[in-house]
């Protein structure tokens, strides 16, 4: 999970670990995310777009352009809710885009389970 808001990061990590089926690795910056993805590619990435250093679009471009990471499912979870952001993500690939302010935590868990084929 890549999220720079410490409160949301804590809540999401708790929600996911309370499911007892997820191991959650977190990054608070784009640079941390890229280092973690390169050192131990995850099964799924929950990605914020607005980050303090390297933005989520750059991370998404990097992930999608490398053979070893291009098939990792990514769910965008961001408050950036403008049409331009949706179009940028769509231009990179087929990724789910959830708006933080409009999405309940349980819905995020449900979407992750679907992407990972977990019942």
- Residue 43 domain-assigned (yes or no): yes
Residues 6+ apart with CB under 8 A from 113: 119
Q: Please indicate, yes or no, if residue 67 is contained in any of the structural domains.
A: yes
List pLDDT tens digits, range 44-58: 999 999 999 999 999
Whole-prediction pTM: 0.91
Residue 66 lies in a domain: yes
Q: Considering the domain boundaries, does residue 77 fall inside one?
A: yes
User: What is the count of structural domains for the chain?
Assistant: 1
Residue 40 pLDDT greater than 80, yes or no: yes
- Pairing assessment for the beta strands 74-78 and 45-47 based on DSSP bridges: parallel
Range of the domain at 12: 6-112
> Is residue 119 a part of any domain in this protein?
no
pLDDT in tens, 65-107: 999 999 999 999 998 877 778 788 888 877 889 999 999 999 9
Question: Do 29 and 54 form a contact (C-beta atoms < 8 A)?
Answer: yes
Q: How many CB atoms neighbour CB 47 within 10 A?
A: 25
The answer to whether the CB of 50 falls within 8 A of the CB of 79 is: yes
Look at residue 11 and give its three-state secondary structure: helix
In a domain, 117, yes or no: no
75 in Cβ contact with 93 (< 8 Å): no
| CATH code (residue 96) | 3.40.50.2300
59 part of a folded domain: yes
Residue 92 forms part of a structural domain:
yes
């Amino acid at each position: 999970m890549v999220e720079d808001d410490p409160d949301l990061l804590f809540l999401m990590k708790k929600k996911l670990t309370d499911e007892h089926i997820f191991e959650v690795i977190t990054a608070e910056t784009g640079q941390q995310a890229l280092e973690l993805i390169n050192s131990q590619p995850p099964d799924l990435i929950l990605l914020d777009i607005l980050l303090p250093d390297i933005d989520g679009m750059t991370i998404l471009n990097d992930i999608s352009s490398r053979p070893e990471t291009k098939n990792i499912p990514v769910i965008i979870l961001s408050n950036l809710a403008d049409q331009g952001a949706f179009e940028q993500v769509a231009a990179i690939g087929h990724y789910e885009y959830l708006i933080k302010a409009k999405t309940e935590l349980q819905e995020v868990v449900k979407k992750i389970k679907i992407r990972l084929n977990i019942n």
